[in-house]
Copies of this chain bind each other. A is one copy, B any other.
Amino acid sequence: MEIEVLEGIFDANEIIAGENREILDRHGVFMVNLMASPGAGKTSLILKTLEGVGGGLSCAVIEGDIAGKVDSERIAEQGVPAIQINTGGSCHLEAKQVNTALKRMELEQVDLLIVENVGNLVCPAEFKLGEDLKVMILSVAEGHDKPLKYPLMFSESHVLIINKIDLIPHTDFDMESLKETVRKMNPAVEIFEVSCRTGEGLSAWTGWLKGRVETSK
C-alpha cells in the first residue's frame, strides 16, 4: 500500500522531469543537480564554480531549502540570478518545484543552471529533476565510510566532489579507501578533490564542467 503511494509520486515526478528536460533543451540550458549532506559545502562550491566558469558562460541558480533564503542572497550578491525554493519541510526537491522556477526564469539568457538541492544524502537521489548532471559533494569531515551507508546517492551521481581536503591532516580520512569503494559502486563516476576554503583543486572541476556545458550546445 505504502509502496503504491510512493510509486505514484515517482511516476508523476518522472513526467514533470521530462517536461523540465524539454524546457531546458529548447533554451539550450545545461542543468546541474547539486546534492550533499548539510554543511558539505554546496553553496560555497556554487560560488566558486560561478567564479571559475565565469568568462563566456551565463549562469543562474535555483536554491532549494526547507526554510530561509540566506543561500540565494549569497548568490545574488555575486550578481547571478537566483531563485529560492522553500520546500516547507520536505527533505528533497521534486521536479514540479523546479518546473515552477524554470517558468519564472529568463532561460534564453542562461547557459548553465545550478540547482542546489536540500541538504540530505538520501532522498534527493531518488527524484529526477530533468538535469544533465547529478553532482554530489562529500566533505572530508563526513568520513570515508559514507558510500556503503548511502549507496543510492553514490551510485546515481555522475560526479563526486570531495570537499574540504584542507582538513585531511586533522582527520582520519582515507582518500584511497573512499575512491576504491565508490568506483566499485559506480565505475563511471568523475571524482574531483577540492577545498572551497583554500581554492585547491577547483580549476580542474570548473574547467571540466565548462567543457561539458560547451560540448552540450
Contacts and interface: CB of A to CB of B under 8 A. Distances in A.
Interface of A: 5, 37-40, 65-68, 70-71, 89-91, 118-123, 126, 139-143, 145-146, 148-152, 164, 166-167, 170-172, 197
28 contacts: A37-B38, A38-B142, A38-B149, A38-B150, A39-B143, A65-B149, A66-B149, A66-B152, A67-B149, A68-B149, A68-B151, A70-B145, A70-B148, A70-B149, A89-B122, A90-B122, A91-B120, A91-B123, A119-B122, A119-B150, A120-B120, A123-B123, A139-B141, A140-B141, A141-B142, A141-B164, A167-B167, A167-B170
Per assembly, the copies of the chain total 2
Nearest to A145: B70
Majority DSSP secondary structure for residues of A touching B? loop
A108 B70 CA distance: 49
